[in-house]
Amino acid sequence: MIKSLMKKIIPAKYWEDPNSFYYLYLKSYAGTYYSQEGEDILLRRIFGDQTTGFYIDVGAHHPKRFSNTCYFYDQGWQGINIDALPGSMKVFQKFRPRDTNLEIAISEKEQNLNYYMFNEPALNGFSKSISEERENEQCHIEGTITVPSYPLSKILDTYLPPGQIINFLSVDVEGFDLKVLASNDWGKYRPKVVLAEVLGSSLNKIEKDPVYNYMVSQEYTLFAKLFHTCIFKIEE
């Protein structure tokens, strides 16, 4: 109410004046974020307030819940969302119509994979061992299906607009991240930033992790680590 009243009283040219009372005290700096570990908050620090950009989200899960890309979609960005869960792209088409939404799996080659589906869809994945380890009283595997998978490079060859720069690639596929990363053509498609999960690794052990070492081999450096998510940037 106070903000609305001030906007009526104060000329518009002063609203964004960094020395104005409105800018210093009344403007809200709180944002709406969606990521599970604050990935989108950190990405905003990297990309600032860009109103255009392009992302690739492998293991997208949901257009809003636990999403590393929804904040950027809200700012005007667009990209490609990929998830293997049957029916998952219906809700993406509803809430993210500017995006390309693909209901497929990604792996190092074209093949059929066993997909383990939990009562909590965020835990769905292709690793039998990780899936079985995660079963407990609250979370359990409800079923297993076979889904087709394709290399990421082939998907980008098909769906990425010609000449499109990829600002960031987000990979969250429950222990399958290395296979997804290895399926990209890094000579052709080089996102500025890459997010990938490193499960159960502390900072003092990160240099022994296969995902970390793979990204270093592609000339990326570790920029930040959250609870599971590691954020890599192209070496400059």
Tell me, yes or no, whether 81 and 105 share the same domain.
yes
Q: What's the CATH code of the domain at 36?
A: 3.40.50.150
C-alpha span between 126 and 115 (Å, rounded)? 5
Q: Specify the higher pLDDT residue, 1 or 87.
A: 87
Does the residue 228 lie in any domain?
yes
- Token code pair at residue 79: 């990209």
Tell me, yes or no, whether 17 and 97 share the same domain.
no
Tell me, yes or no, whether 2 and 103 share the same domain.
no
Number of domains in the chain: 2
Q: Tell me the CA distances in angstroms from 137 to 84, 119, 134, 140, 167, one per residue in order.
A: 25, 11, 10, 7, 40
169 alpha carbon, distance to own chain's centre:
6
- In this prediction, what percent of the chain has a pLDDT beyond 90? 61
Each residue's pLDDT tens digit, 196-222: 998 776 788 899 999 999 999 999 999
Count other Cβ atoms within 10 Å, centred on residue 86.
12
Each residue's pLDDT tens digit, 115-140: 888 987 778 877 787 787 778 878 88
Does the residue 135 lie in any domain?
no
Q: How confident is the model at residue 102 (pLDDT cuts 50, 70, 90)?
A: very high
Contacts of residue 4, Cβ cutoff 8 Å, sequence gap at least 6:
none
Does the residue 123 lie in any domain?
no
Each residue's pLDDT tens digit, 144-171: 989 999 999 999 999 999 999 999 999 9
C-alpha span between 236 and 220 (Å, rounded)? 9
Please report how many Cα atoms fall inside a 13 Å half-sphere around the Cα of residue 126, on the Cβ side: 25
CA-based nearest residue to 170, from 10, 2, 58, 34: 58
pLDDT at 229 over 90: yes
Does the residue 77 lie in any domain?
yes
Each residue's pLDDT tens digit, 16-49: 555 555 555 545 455 789 999 999 999 999 999 8
